Chains A and B, each alone.
Chain A
């Protein structure tokens, strides 16, 4: 009986691993192609062979990137912008989501809906009016402008996710806390917020990505090479029919690393043992 159960479990595990491996290969293969591009000599985007390590592989692109290009400046700039956007996004969203989840008030539904509505307008068409507006406010060539814009792009998703997650946390927890002498605010940040860690991770990661990889707005607003963020730097390798694919590939690969590290660090809380263990159903 026990043995049978064990073999069944073993087979299930095997299938799980196999499926995961297949999906991992699918996920990784195109990324590996980018690495291949970065190692190819003479800026070839494509190749007529399928080798992962190309013929005459060279690390020249990576060396060029760090020695001759202001790559580290772009990384620093982007990291700063992304950090501020993540912080603002998470703080604002965790508060707004909480209010939407816990209270009934006039305009709640419309409020939630209008968050969504902001995402529906084609972004390319917002560029001209946004630019005119930023000129009036004197925010061209400043991070304040793009940080506000990025925060606005990230917030709707973040607020909705936070609200959705708070909804799964029972009211009884706050009531218990209030009986213990907490006020509403203390109940929020001492009891509920730690429990919502997975949602905070999702919104944080999302805000970070929104700022880390945005190009269109940045290209219009940041007109000083000293202020360039990573996507702008990456794009500068691209020219009409003469793109430096080697550098582009190398930079794309390196750009990925901070995101992966961030994810690794955050995933402790994404799948944490907190798991509402204190809730008991």
Chain B
């Protein structure tokens, strides 16, 4: 293929995507960058000025309760645990569904329901299920497992676990669908050949399935990490805005509180930039490790 033609081809194929993204992301990003160096807040909402790095210094040194580092740690735990279970459960179910079994399409359809239902009401339903006296989760724990009931929403750790459980429930169907699609790229002949060679289930998983679904799964996982890191809804709804006592916050809910409860736009913008940079470095590292930008073949 001629070089000119190749370049036109690439530009025509990639162009629309980048035009759309530039249109939407470029200006807002610059705007936030500028605001993060300013004193925009309640008292200076229209007449804000550039004041340098003050807001960034505040992000790292302000004695917020809990402080930045504790919240950051919690955010990392939140992200890692969630994505881990999303992927493990998602891939596991996809593997089960990828066999010849009866009622496959019924299972498949019912299993995507958590993704299909509007999040707001179902998150509040989960909050109800975690209620100490009337919630169904404690009922299962006490009646069927004969364990003592858990005060889910009253203590920080349990409340945090409650948020994670809810979010795992919400997130696994998406990974399952991605994994189901990815599994289609594996030719059956590969498994047949492996079976003849006497490879067991675990071998096949490790040497055929995982490497071959990787090109599709890695992007989903990377984005899953970024999304989970910035997922405000579930924490906000299940823990009712950081309860008990602001102990269940992750970084994004801090941004939200600063910007919309206390009108600290400059501070919130600086914190957003910090979140952005953390995610950027993390993704670079992750992609280098998994070589996601390189082709599998």
Contacts and interface: CB of A to CB of B under 8 A. Distances in A.
Do any beta carbons of A and B sit within 8 angstroms of each other in the complex?
yes
Interface of A: 13, 16-17, 19-20, 23-24, 26-31, 33-34, 37, 45-48, 50, 88, 92-93, 95-96, 98-101, 103, 105, 108-109, 111-126, 128-130, 132-133, 148-149, 151-152, 155-157, 159-161, 163-165, 167-171, 184-185, 198-199, 201-202, 205-206, 209, 213, 231, 234-235, 238, 245, 248-249, 252-253, 255-256, 259-260, 263-264, 267, 270-272, 274-277, 279-281
B297 A171 contact: yes
Nearest to A123: B230
A98 B182 CA distance: 16
A120 B256 contact: no
B142 interface: no
- DSSP majority for the B interface? helix
Contacts of B283: 113, 116-117, 120
A89 to B, nearest CB: 10
A238 to B, nearest CB: 8
A47 B125 CA distance: 10
Interface in B249-273: 252, 255-256, 259-260, 265, 268-269, 272
Given A23-B93, A116-B226, A125 B122 contact: no
B17 A125 contact: no
A125 B296 contact: no
Contacts of A275: 184-185, 187-188
- DSSP majority for the A interface? helix
Interface residues on B, range: 35 or more
Interface stretch (B79-87, B146-154, B173-181): B173-181
B109 A129 contact: no
Interface of B: 1, 5-7, 9-10, 12-14, 16-18, 20-21, 23-25, 27-29, 31-32, 89, 93, 96-99, 101, 103, 105, 107-122, 124-126, 128-129, 131, 133-134, 136, 139, 169, 173-174, 177-178, 180-182, 184-185, 187-190, 212, 215-220, 222-223, 226-227, 230, 232, 252, 255-256, 259-260, 265, 268-269, 272, 275-276, 279-280, 283-284, 287, 293, 295-297
